[in-house]
């Protein structure tokens, strides 16, 4: 949508526009209302977002021009094919649980992206894919998304709208309903991907008890230990967001992961520098990061 040459220009325009408007509006404003166009206290966060965004977009365009991208093996994602294959061989359904997040949660969108890739494979193998939803908006998006995935695979006849359904918005009622489904239908594979709260272990342990191969993934760090304990494979934190790129192997998506790594490298360097300077009594790095809010 935006060419590579335009990116620095776009960034410059945003910064100049923001700064000029900030000055102009601040002079005309009454004293009691904050009419600054830009929150100067967030300048460093803004700069970090711009720099990190630039690194990602640059990596994406680098990947699009044919650059080689290495991505480490992620066991949980390698197992997706195994899980679908197992379900197909056993003639049992796959249960895909998107968690309790809304469509505004990035983890839910990441989960939908994985579901899209899973749906393409289930369309090919004609394996039933059951998706109980706890949010009506997520339900509608997921229905459209899975339908499009089946259409893209040339298998619209295999798509069943009844397999993607709304259960309830209530947390534990949802857990009870999904547990009941697991016990009755005995799915061969269970995917738990998205935002989870206290119901995570209830779902994962029930899945474990019915002998399903379970692939979990969440950005909720407090729920990850439960998934690691009860599931066969767990996508930890950022791996959930990398899943779509990993499964589709699209160069542009893989490129964004490289940009992410640049961000991690900068953070790591900052941490090492901060710790080293702190040890020799120089505290400005620590003070700087404490003041960034």
Partner 1 sequence: MRRQVPLILCFLFGIVMMLVEFSPHPISEGLRAEVIKWDLIIGPFALVIGVITLVHTHVIRVKRRVEHWQYSYLVFFGMIVMVAFGLPTGPKNEVFEWLFDNVQVPMEATMFSLLAFFIASASYRAFRARTLEATLLLVAALIVMIGNAPIGDVLWNELSPVGDNIPSTARQWILDNPNLSSRRGIILGVSLGVISQSIRIIFGIERSYLGGGD
Check if the beta carbon of residue 274 is closer than 8 Å to that of residue 289. Answer: yes
Binding mask 4-23 toward partner 1 (x if CB under 8 A, else -) reads ----------x---x-----
H or E element that contains 221: none
The span from the CA of 94 to the CA of 82, in Å, is 12
Contact pick of 74, 83, 95, 116 for partner 1 (by CB under 8 A): 116
DSSP 40: G
215-230 core/surface letters (b: 16 or more CB in 10 A; e: else): bbbbbbeebbebbeeb
285 touches partner 1 by CB under 8 A = no
Element (H, E) at 233: strand 233-236
Measure the CA dihedral 256/257/262/263, to 10°.
90
Q: Which of 16, 24, 173, 275 binds partner 1 (CB under 8 A)?
A: 173
> Which residues inside 73-102 make contact with partner 1, applying CB under 8 A?
none
Q: Based on the shown chain and the rule CB under 8 A, indicate whether residue 32 belongs to the binding site for partner 1.
A: no
Q: Smallest gap, in angstroms, from Cβ of residue 220 to partner 1?
A: 9
Q: Which are the contacts of 114, defined by CB distance < 8 A and separation ≥ 6?
A: 80, 191, 193, 217, 240, 243, 244, 247
Tokens at 11, concatenated = 């960034």
Rounded CA separation 250/64 (Å): 9
In the bound state with partner 1, the residue whose beta carbon lies nearer, of 229 and 287, is 229
CB of 256 to partner 1, least distance (A): 5
Q: Judged by CB under 8 A, which of 5, 72, 73, 184 binds partner 1?
A: 184
Q: Which of 28, 32, 34, 291 binds partner 1 (CB under 8 A)?
A: 34
Q: Report the residue from 167, 182, 212, 215 that binds partner 1 according to the rule CB under 8 A.
A: 167
Binding track over 201-240 against partner 1, x by CB under 8 A = xx-xx-------------x-x--x-x-xxx-----xxx-x
Q: Report the residue number, 67 or 136, with the smaller CB distance to partner 1.
A: 136
Distance (Å, whole) CA 79 – CA 206 = 20
Based on the shown chain and the rule CB under 8 A, indicate whether residue 35 belongs to the binding site for partner 1: yes
Q: Does 249 bind partner 1 (CB under 8 A)?
A: no
Task: List, in sequence order, every residue forming a beta bridge with 235; answer none if it has no partner.
Answer: 217
Q: Report 250-269 residues binding partner 1 (CB under 8 A).
A: 252-253, 256-257, 259-260, 263-264, 267
42 sits near partner 1 (criterion: CB under 8 A) = yes
Kindly identify the residues of this chain, within the stretch 142-161, that bind partner 1 according to CB under 8 A: 144-149, 151-152
């Amino acid at each position: 949508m935006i060419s590579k040459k335009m990116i620095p220009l776009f960034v410059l325009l945003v910064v100049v526009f923001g700064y000029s408007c900030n000055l102009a509006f601040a002079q005309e404003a009454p004293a009691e209302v904050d009419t600054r166009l830009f929150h100067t206290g967030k300048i460093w966060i803004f700069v970090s977002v711009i720099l990190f965004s630039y690194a990602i977009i640059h990596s994406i365009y680098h990947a699009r021009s044919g650059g080689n991208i290495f991505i480490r093996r992620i066991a949980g994602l390698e197992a997706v094919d195994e899980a679908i294959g197992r379900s197909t061989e056993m003639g049992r359904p796959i249960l895909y649980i998107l968690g309790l997040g809304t469509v505004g949660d990035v983890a839910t969108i990441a989960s939908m992206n994985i579901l899209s890739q899973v749906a393409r494979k289930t369309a090919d193998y004609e394996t039933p894919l059951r998706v109980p939803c706890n949010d009506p908006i997520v339900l509608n998006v997921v229905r459209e998304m899975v339908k499009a995935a089946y259409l893209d695979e040339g298998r619209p006849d295999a798509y069943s709208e009844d397999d993607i359904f709304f259960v309830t918005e209530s947390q534990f009622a949802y857990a009870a309903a999904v547990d009941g489904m697991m016990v009755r239908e005995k799915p061969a594979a269970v995917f738990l991907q998205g935002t989870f709260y206290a119901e995570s272990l209830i779902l994962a342990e029930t899945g474990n008890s019915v002998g399903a191969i379970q692939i979990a993934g969440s950005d909720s760090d407090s729920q990850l230990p439960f998934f690691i304990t009860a599931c066969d494979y767990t996508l930890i934190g950022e791996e959930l967001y990398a899943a779509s790129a990993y499964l589709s192997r699209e160069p542009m998506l893989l490129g964004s992961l490289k940009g992410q790594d640049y961000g991690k490298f900068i953070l790591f360097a900052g941490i090492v520098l901060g710790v080293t300077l702190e040890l020799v009594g120089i505290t400005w790095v620590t003070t700087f990061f404490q003041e960034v809010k």
